[in-house]
């Protein structure tokens, strides 16, 4: 528990540092139209195979304070099922901060909170508890390579719990696209 609190404290410190960079910028309302600095993006995923289906819709938006710093929000909705094994729904939201110290490198900090509802077929995993519903927080630190509005890289969940996460590893590749 102490390790998780230290990790959360570290990330909160990063967010405070990022907000100081943002607050130090000239905030002239006439010169900067809010909507000119908003970018939209997200992800769509489909996966299917022999008796398996998974679909994800994850829209997001960021506000670009300047060419170096942006922050935003995202939503996530997923459905997965394996015939005669399980089905699950996942709903969640995230907040992300992006920093480009140089144009080609993007650092990110993202907090994601998911509500996970898994229903297993009778006796498949645990004969005493077939259904599972819970909230799962994830705190990702990432680094990526940017080209214009596309970034690809890797992120690490510092709160990763292999027994509760919907992800199979703490390290996850990503592709971000914002328009």
Predicted confidence band at 165 (pLDDT cuts at 50, 70, 90)? confident
Percent of the chain with pLDDT over 70: 77
The pLDDT score that the predictor gives to residue 31 is: 47
Residues 60-66, mean pLDDT to the nearest whole number: 96
End-to-end CA distance of the chain: 39
Residue 45 CA to residue 54 CA, distance in Å, equals 8
CATH for 2-26+36-177? Answer: 2.40.160.20
- Residue 96 contacts residue 71 (beta carbons within 8 Å): yes
Res 74 pLDDT > 80: yes
Mean pLDDT score of the chain = 84
Q: Specify the higher pLDDT residue, 33 or 78.
A: 78
Q: In what order do the strands lie in the sheet with 86-102?
A: 38-49, 52-64, 69-82, 86-102, 105-120, 131-147, 150-157, 171-177
The domain locations on the chain are: 2-26+36-177
Predicted confidence band at 164 (pLDDT cuts at 50, 70, 90)? confident
Tokens of 136: 């799962």
- Residue 54 contacts residue 47 (beta carbons within 8 Å): yes
Residue-wise pLDDT tens digits, 9-58: 555 555 554 544 444 455 555 445 899 999 999 888 898 899 999 999 99
């Amino acid at each position: 528990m102490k390790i998780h609190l230290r990790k959360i404290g570290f990330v909160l410190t990063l967010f405070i540092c990022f907000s100081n960079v943002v607050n130090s910028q000239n905030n002239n309302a006439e010169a900067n139209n809010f909507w000119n600095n908003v970018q939209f993006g997200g992800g769509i995923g489909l996966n299917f195979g022999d008796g398996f289906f998974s679909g994800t819709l994850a829209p997001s938006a960021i506000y670009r304070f300047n060419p170096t710093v942006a922050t935003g929000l995202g939503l996530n909705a997923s459905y997965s099922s394996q015939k005669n094994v399980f089905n699950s729904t996942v709903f969640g939201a995230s907040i992300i901060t992006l920093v480009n110290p140089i144009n080609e490198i993007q650092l990110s900090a993202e907090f994601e909170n998911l509500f996970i509802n898994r229903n297993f077929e009778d006796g498949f995993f645990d004969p005493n508890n077939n259904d599972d519903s819970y909230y799962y927080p994830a705190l990702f630190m990432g680094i990526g390579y940017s080209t214009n509005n596309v970034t690809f890289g890797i992120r690490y969940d510092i709160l990763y719990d292999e027994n509760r996460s919907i992800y199979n590893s703490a390290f996850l590749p990503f592709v971000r696209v914002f328009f």
